[in-house]
A and B are shown apart, each in its own frame.
Chain A
Amino acid sequence: MGFAPVNIHYHLPIDLRVGGSKFFFFFFPLFALSIFFHSSALRPFLSSPPFSDYSFFESSGIHRHTPRLSICRLRAPIIKGRANELNKMREIVTIQVGDFANFIGSHFWNFQDELLGLAEDDGADPIFKNNFMDMDVLYRTGLTHQGAYTYCPRLISIGSQGSLGTLSSSGSLYGDSSSSDATDTLTWKGAVTKLAENPREKNLFLKSLSEEGEDDPNIEDKDRVQCLERDIKFWSDFSKVHFHSKSLYELNGAWTDFQNFDNFGDGKEVLLGGLHMEELNDRLRFFVEECDHVQGIQCTVDDSGGFSAVASEFLENIADDYTNIPVLLYSVRDTFSYTDATKQRKLITRSLHDAVSLSKLSTYSSLIVPVGLPSLGGLAPSLCVRDEKNFHSSAVYASAIHSISAPFRFKPAGPISNTTYAAGSLDIGEIIHILAGQNRQNMVAILDVSMPAPSLSDKANPGGILNSFHALGTEIGDDSEDLYMDESLILNGALFSGADWASVSQVKDSICNVYDKGLRVKPRPSHLSISLTPLPIPLPFPSIFPTTTGRRGEILADQPLEGPPKGSLEVESVPVMTRLRSSIAIKPFIECRYNNLLRHGMLRGAKGAGLLRDWGFGKDEVDDMGEHLSKMLRIFNPSSEMTSDSD
């Protein structure tokens, strides 16, 4: 087997300046290529490559304008000899819970679909060609009863009843022989009453994916893009992906008002007296059973309402059944969930919900990343997002989540592809370990994004590109003085200057430069992942780019500042840079939730105590939640950390 260099953590002390008592580590665990950071010298070294025992057939994907056919892609199932466990594929199962989570997911899978399509397209830029990304990490190969191969996301999506729009809950690939002809009923010979809802009409974009609108020469892509900007009701309205028949689950709580499904109690109620969990566990088992070695579960939860209760129940089951599988959780919210509550009761409900939700979700996940701003106006001028459109905001969040997921699926192949196209492979367990397992055991991370990321050689910005980040969460404090910060940086398709993509070494040099010259505070434990593939912009991506954006997401100097925003027809790809950091800046976020739980739910005569009882929490359980939150807070307090160490 030889030297197996995947994910080696080299720890080299490089800075002994502060006080002499603290050591700072700066390490880049990269497979097949590790960087020693010593003084200011940068010494990459290469090692012999491991070879995978798996072989892959040619894959065929789909491209953005072609109608979707069933996609055929095979993975050789036969294992010859003993597989090298270090190099084998490590699957991710994705879970989306709640309608906004599905909006984000819809964009996320569109990106993946676009990448698959571009890799097959001879006309596409060669940067999309190379196969250093292993899509099998997120996708699975399947077979229908009719013998056709399918290639679908390894996904479970939970939404409210009716949230699928024109999409059938059993997907379109595994079509069964069902007919809505009432006379075909096989189980009843008596009378049959048929009650049919009006069929929902597909929009121009969806029509172009199926055969219906294909031949119409009068409809151009421009019309399709416009129709998406005008009217999006369901996440499926802009989805171009085929889903597996077990992927989409509609939660049909008996007479639950999903318009007002806004607190933890509602969610718990929906799950009562049904076989929802049974069914969900079965579906998850279906996807996990076929995995050889799951690296983790990536879960997006709309935690602004009852769905966080659904998710926490599901995650609790997962924690029981699959003890060692790490869960990376994004708790997301749309801008509407921040609308000011006018009534006190509403205010208390909401703040208690937030506290309970954080406490419960963090109990059953390994790392939790709050995502969601009351307004995305702060991202201007690099993006112009309309806050009132979930279609817009979800696209930004999905881009960031896509960027983070890139290093999870770098293919462990030869060293050449690594140095050329990508570096810094990570798996979910490792990113969680970097952020939540080291200095502090803080498991709430902050997500920052820079999109489109400025070019590396941007002279106008002496602080380096690292100053272009915007946090995607709320209630974030200052961490410039935080000595225990951990971070993980991920760059997708960075531009060097103008519209030229940077090479891996250029990216590395620039980032190191920022730290070296002291332009950015000080070196701290950090991990860098680089993928040369930028974020592809699929047709159903919203028009949120300013007029100065070029085809590759570069800034065009000679463009007028005013004008309609650009969209997928003008911009083909953008560079995206994301950072996950675990720092003291998250303290206000947790503190606020803890204090609310204390004030409204736990103190004597608290106004929300009855509410918590209505949600089915006994006093002990509330105390446990309070204790859990206070423990999450205590880690930021060095003095109590000392005492907990001595325990």
Chain B
Amino acid sequence: MSIRVLNPNAEVLNKSAALHMTINAAKGLQDVLKSNLGPKGTIKMLVGGAGDIKLTKDGNTLLKEMQIQNPTAIMIARTAVAQDDSSGDGTTSTVLFIGELMKQSERCIDEGTHPRFLVDGFEIAKRATLEFLEKFKTPVVIGDTPDKEILKMVARTTLRTKLYEVLADQLTDIIVNAVLCIRKPEEAIDLFMVEIMHMRHKFDVDTRLVEGLVLDHGSRHPDMKRRAENCYILTCNVSLEYDKSEINAGFFYSNAEQREKMVAAERRQVDQRVMKIIELKEKVCSGTDKNFVVINQKGIDPPSLDLLARAGIIALRRAKRRNMERLVLACGGEAVNSVDDLTEDCLGWAGLVYEHVLGEEKYTFVEQVKNPLSCTILIKGPNDHTIAQIKDAVRDGLRSVKNTIEDEAVVLGAGAFEVAARKHLLDNVKRTAKGRAQLGVEAFADALLVIPKTLAENSGLDTQDVIVSLQNEHDQGTVAGLNHHTGDPIDPQMEGIFDNYSVKRQIINSGPVIASQLLLVDEVIRAGRNMRKPA
């Protein structure tokens, strides 16, 4: 009541109303994302007011596109998106899990249980489930040559929930090969070393892995070759343009001649830098059929381009900062910041460099490199929204492979883990909880089933039949998942359906935390919205 004294305009919701508001918001969000889950989910096409299209089956993207206003829903959405940021997947599952926890809690609360007991039960169940996950997970031996098959299975499981089968299977190999390409022993995997490039193409939906790099720009001189074989690659960050601002800084001229001299001197410096590159080219290439390519992070102005073109050098300017690193990883050599003391050791190597032009967009392919530690996934699609969706899927796929390598473990998918964990909670954990906290453990266990239930629902199967037959299998001691075509239990191991361990772990970790916070809300105050801009 005190708030009313402080602010008579404040809107106050009392205990039960507050609780129902939060529960409804959680359920609402769950309803929106429910149809996304699994390989039989629905893809969503969002069309904006000006006709812009977005296509997504990713819970993460969908959440970000939604205009969520309810504060509870925003809280859940933030958790789910944070999940995606840290582990690359599991947004939809997180939202479903939180929604289901709230739903189960609502039943208990309506029957008179205090939220506190549920929260205590959640905590016990969470810890037990995480312990169970440690036992349940399937360890993967990574070593120097990881088992490609298991990586492919993980990637395929993720991709098939985002793209249709043929496309997903095509991407699976590409993604696993890409991650293995950039992987260095004893170092964390930096997925940024996989460049994702796209091209708009009339009808084609096609993706390929380029061992090497694809740059989104080309040479800027008409006399430079469009295709060259056996190329030395010079990766540099050296300004090859005449920079007037350097002259401007503080110098003044008493007459035009003096100025002319200064300008000429400055120009000469730039020319000298260019000449040093040309010297190196002559040294390493003359008398052979080898070619020379300069890829510069800074600018190259027309006079410099002209000099380089005359010397038969292909030059690209304003390369992406990150490509400096990628180029060296792909082609070898080193990225130089100065053209003094250039030697052959600075140079990288590529068997083929060629340019591809599409309208005003130019692409330069640097291929046939030795021992690439960087590569490019090139996506072709007929329009921007298709490309964007494939790109999202590729990113998720890459993350799943990376997670597997780092976790050195996977978890059986298709709902198998959830059914097994529920059984464990009910059989072994529930009785260890004191008093009414048992209700919390039970609610938690039932909430886990939301994953297989939703998978079944999206496949058009009878939810109860499916759950019962899955539970029967587990009661008999076999680990079984859901076959989304028939509804019969299957062995996920045999079918190659694996989820990421770290994703599962995080869902179990964050879900109950948010649900507990929401359950303990006993008053909602809405006061003083911003007065500045009346809508």
A324/B42 contact (C-beta < 8 A), A178-B384, A180-B47 known:
no
New A-B pairs, 8, CB < 8 Å, besides A81-B306, A168-B52, A293-B241 = A8-B253, A79-B306, A83-B306, A88-B302, A165-B50, A185-B45, A190-B39, A192-B42
Chain A residue at smallest Cβ distance from B67: A255
Query: Distance in Å from the Cβ of A374 to the closest Cβ of chain B?
Result: 14
A169/B52 contact (C-beta < 8 A), A9-B252, A187-B167, A192-B42 known:
yes
For B533, the chain A residues whose CB sits under 8 A away are 259-260, 336
- Does the CB pair A85–B317 fall under 8 Å? no
- Does the CB pair A324–B245 fall under 8 Å? yes
For A166, the chain B residues whose CB sits under 8 A away are 49-50
Interface residues of A in 139-179 (CB under 8 A from B): 142-147, 162, 164-170, 176-178
Pick the contact of A4 from B165, B256, B301 — CB < 8 Å?
A: B256
- Does the CB pair B50–A200 fall under 8 Å? yes
16 cross-chain CB contacts under 8 A: A4-B259, A142-B360, A143-B360, A162-B49, A166-B50, A167-B50, A176-B383, A176-B384, A186-B386, A190-B43, A197-B47, A255-B64, A260-B533, A262-B530, A324-B245, A437-B250
Query: Distance in Å from the Cβ of A236 to the closest Cβ of chain B?
Result: 9
Expressed in whole angstroms, the Cα–Cα distance for A11 and B255 within the complex equals 10
Q: Does B5 contact A (CB under 8 A)?
A: no
Contact pattern, A 58-92, Cβ under 8 Å of B = 1, otherwise 0: 00000000000000000001110111011010000
Q: Does B318 contact A (CB under 8 A)?
A: yes
For B63, the chain A residues whose CB sits under 8 A away are 254
Chain A residue at smallest Cβ distance from B203: A177
- Does the CB pair B55–A339 fall under 8 Å? no
For A78, the chain B residues whose CB sits under 8 A away are 222
Contact pattern, B 382-393, Cβ under 8 Å of A = 1, otherwise 0: 111110011001
For A79, the chain B residues whose CB sits under 8 A away are 221, 302, 305-306
Chain B residue at smallest Cβ distance from A428: B245
Interface residues on B, range: 35 or more
Expressed in whole angstroms, the Cα–Cα distance for A167 and B51 within the complex equals 9
Interface residues of A in 17-55 (CB under 8 A from B): 47
Pick the contact of B318 from A146, A285, A320, A430 — CB < 8 Å?
A: A285
Interface residues of B in 265-284 (CB under 8 A from A): 267
A145/B50 contact (C-beta < 8 A), A3-B260, A186-B382, A187-B167 known:
no
Interface residues of B in 441-489 (CB under 8 A from A): none
- Does the CB pair B306–A187 fall under 8 Å? no
Pick the contact of A188 from B163, B242, B260 — CB < 8 Å?
A: B163
- Does the CB pair B360–A192 fall under 8 Å? no
Interface residues of A in 273-319 (CB under 8 A from B): 273, 282, 285-286, 288-294
Q: Does A193 contact B (CB under 8 A)?
A: yes
- Does the CB pair A288–B318 fall under 8 Å? yes
Expressed in whole angstroms, the Cα–Cα distance for A286 and B318 within the complex equals 9
Q: Does B522 contact A (CB under 8 A)?
A: no
For A167, the chain B residues whose CB sits under 8 A away are 50
For B6, the chain A residues whose CB sits under 8 A away are none
Pick the contact of A191 from B42, B50, B165 — CB < 8 Å?
A: B42
Contact pattern, B 56-70, Cβ under 8 Å of A = 1, otherwise 0: 010000011111100
- Choose among B82, B305, B383 the residue with the greatest number of A CB atoms under 10 Å from its CB: B383
Query: Distance in Å from the Cβ of B269 to the closest Cβ of chain A?
Result: 13
- Choose among A142, A162, A292 the residue with the greatest number of B CB atoms under 10 Å from its CB: A292
Contact pattern, A 376-388, Cβ under 8 Å of B = 1, otherwise 0: 0000000000000
- Does the CB pair B49–A198 fall under 8 Å? yes
Query: Distance in Å from the Cβ of B387 to the closest Cβ of chain A?
Result: 9
Q: Does A196 contact B (CB under 8 A)?
A: yes
Contact pattern, B 480-523, Cβ under 8 Å of A = 1, otherwise 0: 00000000000000000000000000000000000000000000
- Does the CB pair B77–A3 fall under 8 Å? no
Query: Distance in Å from the Cβ of A389 to the closest Cβ of chain B?
Result: 14
- Does the CB pair A177–B382 fall under 8 Å? yes
- Does the CB pair B383–A200 fall under 8 Å? no
A85/B242 contact (C-beta < 8 A), A8-B253, A180-B45, A180-B47 known:
yes
- Does the CB pair A187–B320 fall under 8 Å? no
For B20, the chain A residues whose CB sits under 8 A away are none
Pick the contact of B317 from A254, A282, A289 — CB < 8 Å?
A: A289
Q: Does B143 contact A (CB under 8 A)?
A: no
Query: Distance in Å from the Cβ of A536 to the closest Cβ of chain B?
Result: 28
Interface residues of B (CB under 8 A from A): 35, 39-53, 55, 57, 63-68, 74, 77-78, 81-82, 85, 163-165, 167, 200, 202, 205, 216-217, 220-222, 239, 241-246, 248-250, 252-254, 256, 259-260, 263, 267, 299, 301-303, 305-306, 317-318, 320-321, 358-360, 381-386, 389-390, 393, 530-533, 535
A188/B256 contact (C-beta < 8 A), A83-B302, A195-B47 known:
no
Query: Distance in Å from the Cβ of B62 to the closest Cβ of chain A?
Result: 9
Expressed in whole angstroms, the Cα–Cα distance for A259 and B55 within the complex equals 26
Expressed in whole angstroms, the Cα–Cα distance for A294 and B300 within the complex equals 11
Chain A residue at smallest Cβ distance from B43: A188
Query: Distance in Å from the Cβ of A336 to the closest Cβ of chain B?
Result: 7
Chain A residue at smallest Cβ distance from B163: A187
Interface residues of A in 601-617 (CB under 8 A from B): none
For B320, the chain A residues whose CB sits under 8 A away are 282, 285
Q: What is the interface size of chain A, counting residues whose CB is below 8 A from a CB of the partner? A: 80
Q: Does A475 contact B (CB under 8 A)?
A: no
A145/B200 contact (C-beta < 8 A), A168-B50, A185-B43 known:
yes
- Does the CB pair B358–A82 fall under 8 Å? no
Q: Does A199 contact B (CB under 8 A)?
A: yes
For B205, the chain A residues whose CB sits under 8 A away are 186-187
Q: Does A557 contact B (CB under 8 A)?
A: no
- Does the CB pair A197–B253 fall under 8 Å? no
Pick the contact of A176 from B41, B243, B244, B382 — CB < 8 Å?
A: B382
Query: Distance in Å from the Cβ of B137 to the closest Cβ of chain A?
Result: 27
- Does the CB pair B68–A197 fall under 8 Å? no
Pick the contact of B164 from A162, A190, A293, A321 — CB < 8 Å?
A: A190
Q: Does A440 contact B (CB under 8 A)?
A: no
Chain B residue at smallest Cβ distance from A83: B302
Contact pattern, A 388-420, Cβ under 8 Å of B = 1, otherwise 0: 000000000000000000000000000000000
For A290, the chain B residues whose CB sits under 8 A away are 220
A169/B50 contact (C-beta < 8 A), A3-B260, A178-B383, A187-B163 known:
yes
Query: Distance in Å from the Cβ of A422 to the closest Cβ of chain B?
Result: 21
Expressed in whole angstroms, the Cα–Cα distance for A81 and B310 within the complex equals 11
Expressed in whole angstroms, the Cα–Cα distance for A273 and B87 within the complex equals 12
- Does the CB pair A430–B302 fall under 8 Å? no
For A254, the chain B residues whose CB sits under 8 A away are 63-64, 77-78, 81
Interface residues of A in 316-371 (CB under 8 A from B): 320-321, 324, 326, 336, 339, 342
For B216, the chain A residues whose CB sits under 8 A away are 282, 286
A187/B55 contact (C-beta < 8 A), A77-B222, A164-B50, A166-B50 known:
yes
- Does the CB pair B390–A187 fall under 8 Å? yes
- Does the CB pair A143–B167 fall under 8 Å? no
Chain B residue at smallest Cβ distance from A9: B252
Q: Does A429 contact B (CB under 8 A)?
A: yes
- Does the CB pair A324–B41 fall under 8 Å? no
Expressed in whole angstroms, the Cα–Cα distance for A167 and B50 within the complex equals 6
Query: Distance in Å from the Cβ of A516 to the closest Cβ of chain B?
Result: 25
Query: Distance in Å from the Cβ of A129 to the closest Cβ of chain B?
Result: 29
Nearest 7 A/B pairs, CB to CB: A178-B383, A196-B47, A289-B318, A188-B43, A200-B49, A145-B359, A189-B164
A170/B52 contact (C-beta < 8 A), A9-B253, A289-B318 known:
yes
For A47, the chain B residues whose CB sits under 8 A away are 256
Query: Distance in Å from the Cβ of A12 to the closest Cβ of chain B?
Result: 10
For A190, the chain B residues whose CB sits under 8 A away are 39-43, 164
A176/B200 contact (C-beta < 8 A), A259-B530, A289-B318 known:
yes
- Choose among A143, A186, A324 the residue with the greatest number of B CB atoms under 10 Å from its CB: A186
Interface residues of A in 103-119 (CB under 8 A from B): none
Q: Does A5 contact B (CB under 8 A)?
A: yes
Pick the contact of B306 from A82, A162, A199 — CB < 8 Å?
A: A82
A195/B44 contact (C-beta < 8 A), A77-B222, A143-B360, A289-B317 known:
yes
